[in-house]
Amino acid sequence: MNENILKQALLETADDMILKQYSDCENIDFIPTNSFKKKIDKLCKNYDKVSFKLTYTRARKAIVIFVAVLVIMLSSLTVGAVRDAIANFFVTHFSNHADVTYKEPSTKSNQYPKTIEKVYELKTVPKGFSLADCSITDASADTIYFSDDGQIVLQQVVKEKFNESIDNENSIITYETINGQDYIVQTSKISKDISFIWDNGEYVFSLTASLDKDSIIDICENLRIKK
């Protein structure tokens, strides 16, 4: 919800809400004290002064705005994103997706490539698959293999540029260590696709394939530098 719209709505309806709540006050059994009467009389006299009207209006609006902002802040805390620190990644969970970013400490920031200096590919292409495309930029390399039954997509990204959104509504996200390597694993609920995200020390890799899990792990463990 737009913050300005919420503020304006509260400003325009606050008085009506208060009046409506206490519109039946004549039925309340209330006997004011003399002190209370004096304070009310003084308040009524002051209300006729322009300065009071201005300061009262500003104060009331300031309070309403403060309450509106407070509501927004509390709402963001209760329904906002939850972030997990997994191996060298931050995984930020939202209602319908999760953002994965690299988080290696700054002390190691100069120990990995800033551009794609070498391109990795599958050491062994599974039977039935063939290379469909390989696209290389300074920050990433995408290699795609197709078959009649599915696909294999290998993405290699410079660490500081890695930022990927993954579906968490139609898939299950787990964190696994396999043969000493940490992986973020995304298993689709609606297809045969399984995705692995990992850091090999130089680059971040993402591999998605419509294969069984053991076959995908074997691919991840046996990439080679493209000749």
Coil, strand or helix: which one is 97?
strand
Query: Residue 187 pairs with which residues in a beta bridge?
Result: 172, 194
CB atoms within 10 A of CB 132: 13
Task: Tell me the CA end-to-end span of the chain in Å, nearest whole number.
Answer: 52
| pLDDT tens digits, one per residue of 8-45 | 665 566 556 555 554 554 555 556 666 666 666 666 65
pLDDT of residue 227: 84
CB atoms within 10 A of CB 186: 23
Average pLDDT (178-186) is 94
For 82-225, CATH number? 3.30.200.100
Rounded to two decimals, the pTM is 0.62
Of 111, 117, 148, nearest to 130 by C-alpha is 148
Query: Residue 82 pairs with which residues in a beta bridge?
Result: 93
CA distance 75 to 192: 37
Whether residue 196 contacts residue 223, with contact meaning beta carbons closer than 8 Å, is answered with: no
pLDDT band at 99 (very low <50, low <70, confident <90, very high): confident
Residue 164 backbone dihedrals phi, psi, to 5 degrees: -130, 135
pLDDT of residue 96: 81
CA Rg, the chain, in Å?
Answer: 30
The amino acid occupying position 131 is L
| pLDDT tens digits, one per residue of 102-126 | 887 666 556 889 999 999 999 999 9
* DSSP symbols for 131-175: EEEEEE-SSEEEEEEE-SS-EEEEEEEEGGG-EEEEESSSEEEEE
